[in-house]
Amino acid sequence: MYAIVDVETTGGKFNEEGITEIAIYRFDGNKIIDQFSSLVNPQREIQPFVQRLTGINSKMLVNAPKFFEVAKRIVEITEDAVLVAHNAEFDYRIIRTEFKRLGFDFERQSLCTVDLAQKLLPDLPSYKLGKLVRSLGIPISDVHRAHGDAQATVELFKVLLEKDSQKEIISAHVKILNKKQVPSKYLNIIDELPTETGVYYIYNEAGSIIYIGKSKNIKKRVLSHLTSKARKAEKIQKAIHRVTYELCGNECLALLKEQHEIKKNQPRLNHALKYRHFPMGIRRDESSPYQRLLIEQVRQDADYLDVFKNKKEAEGRLRFWIEEFSLCAQHTSFARAQGACFRKGIDKCEGACVGEERCDDYNTKVQAVADSLLYPYEDFLIIDKGKSVGEKSFIYIKDGVFQGYGYFQLNHQIKSLDKIEARLIRIENNRDTQAVIRSFLRRERYQKLINLAEVLVP
């Protein structure tokens, strides 16, 4: 027996959403044997973008039943049934959250038609419900309304049942998506985690941090640790007792905070990253007349133009520099045993490999590579998204050196050095932080830059 469900919500912060509409069709594998559909008064604000998407507004819900008034009906129509939904994790979480507010633990097996469609109908251009059902010739009306989407999901599920004639895939996915696959001691941990960008900390029973990670979706990443069969994941599963997190607002701050926290706390399961996130570097060797750019494993006693996560990334960056600055491959880690470089043969090298280009001229180009890696200003802020609506984040560079980061809501809060310093969360400047910041600057993964020399209030 299946209970095919769709919910519409208010939107908003994770686990603060409320249901505005719910539709459930009880389906025995052949026909619908019961159905329930209702608007629901969420007793909370509906986000504007959700109103535009669904057409549901607060005025429509004034006289609608509140969730506690429909809860009994939901329990009855889903009893002894597998909950089926398109993106089941979302619908199931929302329903469970509403029941939690009533002090009731709503537990059902669940089955996701997105996962099933990807398995049984491979190579389709899209698995979003509207596009998927249209590609199968299934009519859909009232898109983004619970009754319309649930009816379309019923018809989609019929197709999937036909495709899986042995019901082997369906059965396997019920087991996979059944929340009881995750041991009960993990359930509260998972339920409390957000789907936002930040850093998470996994503790053992003794209260020690055993692993630190970052993710754009903390809940999804921790869940992957608890269901994976990888060696590190199994170690986490054996030791995990609780998880805490800190939201960052954007990926750059999450990366900076992650590497800082790993170095500071030295978690035993982050052994590969305890000392450096970027173990490969490109060094400028000035021991010969023509300066060379060499890729090598990072050493503490050497200086590097830039550092990288692996050798492949370093090689890609070096090839870019060779092309961009007309360098000679013979004076890099790509050198041949002897003779002219490959680029000389296609007239793209000015002859440093065979002595035709003057040393000073060539070394000036190598210096240009180094100059290209300098920050755009001596003193500036990198502005990006913050942790909440209306908040911004800043990364502070002073005298060309990374100082730390902070958050603000109003521009006047960062218009003087004193105010910047007051809001600053300091992080050590090192090769790893420099690599993160340079990467985001290079890809322009920020909202804006503020040159402090031009804007600071005296």
Task: Tell whether the model's pLDDT for residue 232 goes beyond 70.
Answer: yes
Structure confidence at residue 35 (pLDDT): 93
State what percent of residues in the chain have pLDDT above 70: 94
Looking at the fold, whether 292 and 161 belong to one and the same domain comes out as no
Residue 130 to residues 145, 155, 180, 372, 413: CA-CA distances in angstroms? 12, 12, 30, 47, 45
Structure confidence at residue 41 (pLDDT): 93
Looking at the fold, whether 331 and 235 belong to one and the same domain comes out as no
Looking at the fold, whether 226 and 357 belong to one and the same domain comes out as no
Range(s) of the domain holding residue 258: 186-273
Token readout for 84 is: 């089926």
Query: Based on the number of CB atoms within 10 Å of its own CB, is 301 exposed (0-12), middle (13-18) or buried (19 or more)?
Result: exposed
pLDDT confidence tier of residue 324, bands split at 50, 70 and 90? very high
Task: Tell whether the model's pLDDT for residue 179 goes beyond 50.
Answer: no
Task: Tell whether the model's pLDDT for residue 403 goes beyond 60.
Answer: yes
Which residue among 311, 340, 372 closes a domain? 372
Looking at the fold, whether 44 and 142 belong to one and the same domain comes out as yes
Looking at the fold, whether 66 and 155 belong to one and the same domain comes out as yes
* pLDDT, tens only, 120-142: 888 788 888 888 888 888 888 88
Q: How many domains does the chain have?
A: 4
Mean pLDDT across the chain: 87
CB atoms under 10 Å from CB of 311, counted, come to 14
Query: Based on the number of CB atoms within 10 Å of its own CB, is 225 exposed (0-12), middle (13-18) or buried (19 or more)?
Result: buried
Looking at the fold, whether 156 and 77 belong to one and the same domain comes out as yes
Output the DSSP codes for 45-94.
PPPHHHHHHH---HHHHTTSPBHHHHHHHHHHHHTTSEEEETTHHHHHHH
* pLDDT, tens only, 234-293: 999 989 988 999 999 999 999 999 988 898 888 999 876 655 678 899 999 999 999 999
Strands across the sheet with 292-297, in order? 292-297, 280-285, 306-308
**Cβ–Cβ < 8 Å for 404, 424:** yes
Which residue among 257, 273, 289 closes a domain? 273
Looking at the fold, whether 124 and 166 belong to one and the same domain comes out as yes
Looking at the fold, whether 64 and 149 belong to one and the same domain comes out as yes
* pLDDT, tens only, 354-371: 889 999 999 999 999 999
* pLDDT, tens only, 54-106: 888 888 998 999 999 999 999 999 998 889 999 888 899 899 989 999 988 88
pLDDT confidence tier of residue 180, bands split at 50, 70 and 90? very low
Looking at the fold, whether 287 and 254 belong to one and the same domain comes out as no
User: For strand 198-203 and strand 242-247, is the pairing parallel, antiparallel, or unpaired?
Assistant: antiparallel
Structure confidence at residue 368 (pLDDT): 95
Structure confidence at residue 228 (pLDDT): 80
Looking at the fold, whether 393 and 324 belong to one and the same domain comes out as no
- Supply the CATH number for residue 248's domain: 3.40.1440.10
Output the DSSP codes for 251-309.
HHHHHHHHHHHHHHH--GGGGGGSS-S--EEEEEE-SSSS-EEEEEE--TTS--SEEES
State what percent of residues in the chain have pLDDT above 90: 46
Structure confidence at residue 166 (pLDDT): 57
Q: Which of 172-181, 185-194, 387-396 has the least mean pLDDT? A: 172-181
Task: Tell whether the model's pLDDT for residue 441 goes beyond 80.
Answer: yes
Q: Residue 230, SS3?
A: coil
- Please state the pTM of the whole predicted model: 0.57
Looking at the fold, whether 41 and 118 belong to one and the same domain comes out as yes
Instruction: Report, as an integer, the average pLDDT of 375-387.
Output: 94
Query: Based on the number of CB atoms within 10 Å of its own CB, is 60 exposed (0-12), middle (13-18) or buried (19 or more)?
Result: middle
Output the DSSP codes for 151-205.
HHHHHHHHHHHHH-TT-HHHHHHHHHH-GGGS-HHHHHHHHT--SSSEEEEEE-T
Residue 445 to residues 22, 230, 278, 384: CA-CA distances in angstroms? 39, 32, 19, 8
Q: How many residues does the chain have?
A: 458
Task: Tell whether the model's pLDDT for residue 440 goes beyond 80.
Answer: yes
Instruction: Report, as an integer, the average pLDDT of 300-310.
Output: 88
Looking at the fold, whether 176 and 64 belong to one and the same domain comes out as yes
- Supply the CATH number for residue 38's domain: 3.30.420.10
Q: Residue 330, SS3?
A: helix
Q: Which of 28-37, 180-189, 211-220, 330-339 tops mean pLDDT?
A: 211-220
Token readout for 440 is: 């985001």
Which residue among 138, 153, 180 closes a domain? 180
Structure confidence at residue 265 (pLDDT): 87
